[in-house]
Chain A
């Protein structure tokens, strides 16, 4: 493969990852890393470094659309970033000491979990939400205008301390594996903290940029970020996520979700196989 062909392939795969990632509410890193390692022969550590930069790009490009539509809850996002950035810093530093074999297996597990989670239908919150004094005090409750329902949706945030704990875990995964961690944050915000799914997705996306920048800074300063790999991935993902974020306010993407699950499931198995046989 020539350098030019590599750039074109990496860019094309990244457009796809950015598009799908933005539609299903994840950063796209979980798709880019398997493609770079399995199809394009990039070492997993360098793939993770390129992916984390791409995740910054996805979040920044998409968040500018979400924030404009006022779906993201900036106060909640910034509050959760307290623990998430610390987690990301830890994860990225630890990744420098782990063997590729372990990273492949860990990433394979993550991709399997994400595929399985996405395969289940999102449940709606039926239980009564407990009051949360901290959320009241910090004014984390918010509202947004839902285009599909054509009305303002107000909601109350609860279990903010649980959110901080899960945020730390999401941060570690982000720094360690070069993903955004939206697959962890969105269900917790939606199912446990009382945030409507669209607001949870937009808030997660806002947070992901800050989290990923924390991890990316570690990879960049350490020299694990190869510009030749990261460039087509970043550009491709921005282009793809731009398309995706324009559609998010309107579509109910069942077909995309199904396709995503199938592709991710196959890649998860391949990563696990590679990790075990390495």
Chain B
């Protein structure tokens, strides 16, 4: 049986998900539109040559936080898109963090520990990816 605190948890988690998805969706959409506006010629013959580097990358995709921050501030389409994607990836992490807090508030020790361990694994994977 579910008690009221558990139902409150579910509603809180649901709200985090909804707003996380909405905000990241908006950023990705705006970023994509800005990208096409800023890249100028996107329907002519030259445009065809531009596609290959965009979909093959080859380690050229800038990863630094500095690039992201300055790009977003100058409304660079690609940077805004990357911010949206990062927020999208972070949304489930916020969901787990919210679960840790609400299990702790409900004094459910086992599930506070379980969800805290899951949170550690998710955050650790970001740092391991940057190294590996």
Contact = CB atoms under 8 A, between A and B. Distances in A.
Contacts of A96: 132
Contacts of A79: 114
Interface string B74-89: 0000100110111011
B85 A238 contact: no
Nearest to A43: B56
B15 to A, nearest CB: 8
Contacts of A227: 31, 61, 78, 81-82, 85
Instruction: Label chain B's interface by main secondary structure.
Output: helix
A82 interface: yes
A228 B55 contact: yes
B89 A216 contact: yes
Interface string A236-262: 001000000000000000000000000
A92 B90 CA distance: 17
Interface in A37-72: 40-43, 46, 53, 56-57, 59-61, 63-64, 67-68, 70
Nearest to A235: B28
Contact of B9 (A74, A88, A93, A209): A74
B72 to A, nearest CB: 12
Interface stretch (A2-10, A106-114, A188-196): A2-10
B1 interface: yes
B51 A226 contact: no
Interface in A114-150: 137-138, 142-143
A230 interface: yes
Contacts, number: 204
A90 to B, nearest CB: 9
Interface in B77-132: 78, 81-82, 84-86, 88-93, 95-96, 99, 110-111, 114-115, 117-118, 121-130, 132
A210 interface: yes
A214 B126 CA distance: 7
Interface residues of A, number: 65
A79 B115 CA distance: 8
Contacts of A4: 36, 42-43, 47
Instruction: Label chain A's interface by main secondary structure.
Output: helix
Given A222-B132, A223-B59, A232 B32 contact: yes
Interface in A210-231: 210, 212-231
Given A220-B129, A221-B127, A228-B55, A53 B85 contact: yes
Given A138-B110, A209-B92, A234-B88, A7 B21 contact: no
Interface of B: 1-2, 6-7, 9-11, 13-14, 17-18, 20-21, 24-25, 28-29, 31-32, 35-36, 39, 42-43, 47-48, 50-51, 54-57, 59, 61, 63, 78, 81-82, 84-86, 88-93, 95-96, 99, 110-111, 114-115, 117-118, 121-130, 132
The 5 closest A-B pairs by CB, nearest first: A218-B129, A221-B129, A221-B130, A217-B126, A85-B121
Given A209-B17, A213-B92, A229-B55, 16 more contacts: A42-B56, A46-B55, A53-B85, A60-B92, A67-B13, A68-B10, A93-B128, A213-B91, A217-B126, A221-B126, A223-B63, A225-B85, A231-B31, A234-B84, A235-B29, A238-B21
